[in-house]
Amino acid sequence: MEDEIKRLALIHAIKNALKYGQARPGPVIGKVLADRPDFKQKIVEVRELVQQVVAEVNERTEEELRRLAEELGVQLEEKREKEERKWPPLPNAEKYERIVTRVAPEPNGYPTLGHVKGLLVPFVYARLYKGEFHLRFEDTNPRVEKLEYYDAIREEFKLVTEAAARVLNLSPGIWDREIIESDHLPELYEYAEKLIRQGDAYVCMCPAKDVRINRTRGIACPHRRQTVEENLELWRGMLEGRFSEGEAHLRLKTDMQHPNLTMRDPGIFRIIEAPHPIHGDRFRVYPTYDFAVSVMDSLTGVTHAFRSKEFEPHVDVQRTILEKLGLRQFEMIQFGRITVEGVPLSKRYIRPLIGAGILWGWDDPRVPTLRGLRRRGITPEALVMLMYDMGPSKVDATVSMGALAAYNRKWLDPKVPRYMFVADPVKAEIEGVLGDLVARVRVHPDKPEMGIREIKVPSKDGKAEVYVSWSDHQSLKPGDEFRLRGLANVKVRSVMPDGLSLTYLPEVRTDVKIIHWAPVDGAVPAVAICPTSVYSYESIGGFGEPAMSELKEGDLVQLVRFGFARVDGRNGKTIILIRSHS
C-alpha cells in the first residue's frame, strides 16, 4: 500500500510541479485521495509520504521531471503559463490605413517598472498591426527635466522593446521615430494664437488661488471678457517676458458651468522660468499636458493614443482643443496602472533616500527603476513576459516581487551557468582519499552542450580539504553520509565548532544528501549582496569555486542551493555578486 501511495503521490507531484513550477503537498494529497478515497483512513501516512515525495520532486529540474513523466506514462496538462493570452483588438482599427501608436514619457526621472506597461502596450499593438511606433519625449515642464533622463529612457526602453520583440516573436527593432515635443514649441505657439484669434482662448492674470476658487464656484473672471486684440497683445507679452512665472496664463474658453470641473476654462499655456535641458533659455512659455498631448498626437499621426486612466477626466478637454483647432481626432484608450507590492515607485519617495545615502543611486538593486532591476539581475525578458500576461487591462494591478522573480527564474533557469558558492564557509577535512580528487560538474545539469568543468582537490598524505557552508555544517552529525556534489561520497567523523572531519567513501551514491562545496586550494572569495527591502540588504561572504574567477561584470549565474545572481564587479580578488532571488 505504501508503494501505491508513493506511486500516486509521485505522479501528481510531477504534474503539479510542471504546471506551477513547484509542487505543493496540499493539492497533491487532494489528488491522491480523489484517486483512492479508501486511503482517507490512512491520512497521516499519506500526508507524510506526499510531503516526502513533493520535497524530492521539487529538487529536480524541469527537464528531469519531463523525462520522469514520460517514463511513468504521465499525461501532462499544458502549462498554465502557456495558455494563449490574446490581447483584445484595437478599437476601430479598420478605420485607419496604418496604425500609429506612441509612448510619451516625460524625461523627469529614471524609468521604473511602472513605465513598462505604458511602453509595451503601444509597442506590441503597433507590431501586431504592422504599424508605426513612436517614442515621444513630453518635455514641456523644464523645471523637473534633465538631459540624463532622456538618455536613460532611450537606453532602458531600447532594452525592453528588443526583449519584447524576441520573447513575443515580433519583428525586431525599437521605435520607428523619435519625437522631441519641445522642438515643436513654435508650432504649438501658432496653434495657441489661432485659438486666441478665434476667440477661443484668453490670457488670464488672476492668481492661481483665485482661479481654483472661481473654477469650483463656476465664476468667470474679468479677463474672460478681453477682446481678441487685447489677448493677442497679452500673449505676446507672455512670450516676450513682460510677465513673470505665475502672473499670466493662457486659458481655453469653454464653459465655466461645465459639470466636469477640468472643462471650466482649463489652462493651456503657462510661463516657466527655468532653463530647458535642450533649449536653454530659448522658451519661457510652455503648454500644459492636455494641450501638448492632444495636439502632438494629432500632428504626428497617432491613431491610438494610450494613456493612464487617471487622465480620463481630461479626455473632454483634449477633444475640445482638437475640435476648436480643426485637428484630426483619434482613438484615446485608457489603461490601469501597475504598482509593486510593498515597493514605492514614486520618485518623490526614492529621491530623498538617495540623498540621505540610504540608497546607492538610481541603479540601486533595491529600487524598482529599470536600471536597478537590471543591476539586480532581473532581465527585460522577465518584465516583458509578466506585463504581457497582465495584458492591456484598464484595471489597476499590483505585482509582487515574487511574481517578477518567478518570471525571471523561468527565463534564466534553462540558460545561465551554475556555480558553487559556499556562504559562511567552514573547512572540512576528508581523510582516507586515495590520491588527488577531481570533480566533473556540468556547467548546466540539463545542457551537456554547455560543457563540463573540472575542479581539482589536491591530496596530501591521504587528506584533502574543501569548504562547506555554515548552514550545512550545522545540520550534520557524526555518522551522517552525504555527497560532495560531483566530487565524492563522505561520512561525518566528527563535527567541531569551526570545522568538519570526514571520511572518504569510495563508492558513488546519489541517493544521499548532496552538498555543494569549494576547494580550499583556488577558492575565489566572493560577497553576495542580498536586497531585503528598499532600506536594507544583507551581505553574505564566502568562497566560490575557482571558475568563478573568470566571471565578468554583468554576468548572470545560478549559485547552487543559493539562488540567481548577477556579477556586480570586483573588489581586488573578491567578486561582488547581487542576489536576484532564490
- Residues binding Zn ion (CB under 5 A): 204, 206, 221, 223
Instruction: Locate 110 and state its grid cell.
Output: 529614471
Name the residue nearer to Zn ion (CB basis): 203 or 464.
203
SS3 432: coil
**Please, are residues 150 and 137 in contact by the beta-carbon 8 Å criterion?**
yes
Strands 463-469 and 425-431: antiparallel
Name the residue nearer to Zn ion (CB basis): 112 or 214.
214
- The distance of closest approach from Cβ of residue 578 to Zn ion in the complex, given in angstroms and rounded to an integer, is 55
- The distance of closest approach from Cβ of residue 243 to Zn ion in the complex, given in angstroms and rounded to an integer, is 13
Name the residue nearer to Zn ion (CB basis): 225 or 477.
225
**Please, are residues 284 and 273 in contact by the beta-carbon 8 Å criterion?**
yes
Cβ contacts of residue 308 below 8 Å, gap of 6+?
118, 334, 335, 336, 337
What is d(CA 211, CA 233) in angstroms, rounded to the nearest whole number?
21
What is d(CA 274, CA 140) in angstroms, rounded to the nearest whole number?
11
- The distance of closest approach from Cβ of residue 202 to Zn ion in the complex, given in angstroms and rounded to an integer, is 8
- The distance of closest approach from Cβ of residue 221 to Zn ion in the complex, given in angstroms and rounded to an integer, is 3
Name the residue nearer to Zn ion (CB basis): 132 or 265.
265
Name the residue nearer to Zn ion (CB basis): 247 or 553.
247
Name the residue nearer to Zn ion (CB basis): 235 or 562.
235
SS3 440: strand
- The distance of closest approach from Cβ of residue 292 to Zn ion in the complex, given in angstroms and rounded to an integer, is 22
- The distance of closest approach from Cβ of residue 256 to Zn ion in the complex, given in angstroms and rounded to an integer, is 11
Name the residue nearer to Zn ion (CB basis): 221 or 403.
221
- The distance of closest approach from Cβ of residue 186 to Zn ion in the complex, given in angstroms and rounded to an integer, is 26
- The distance of closest approach from Cβ of residue 203 to Zn ion in the complex, given in angstroms and rounded to an integer, is 8
Instruction: Locate 76 and state its grid cell.
Output: 501532462
- The distance of closest approach from Cβ of residue 205 to Zn ion in the complex, given in angstroms and rounded to an integer, is 6
- The distance of closest approach from Cβ of residue 288 to Zn ion in the complex, given in angstroms and rounded to an integer, is 16
**Please, are residues 529 and 576 in contact by the beta-carbon 8 Å criterion?**
yes
Burial of 499 (0-12, 13-18, 19+ CB in 10 A): middle
Length of the chain: 582
Instruction: Locate 476 and state its grid cell.
Output: 550534520
DSSP assignment string, 204-261: E-S-HHHHHHHHHHTPPPGGGG--HHHHHHHHHHHHHTSS-TTT-EEEE---TT-SSG
Name the residue nearer to Zn ion (CB basis): 204 or 430.
204
Cβ contacts of residue 409 below 8 Å, gap of 6+?
21, 564, 581, 582
Name the residue nearer to Zn ion (CB basis): 125 or 243.
243
Residue type for position 453: R
What is d(CA 137, CA 134) in angstroms, rounded to the nearest whole number?
10
Which secondary-structure segment (H or E) carries 404?
helix 401-412
Q: ∠ CA(285), CA(287), CA(293), 5° rounding? A: 155
Name the residue nearer to Zn ion (CB basis): 206 or 551.
206
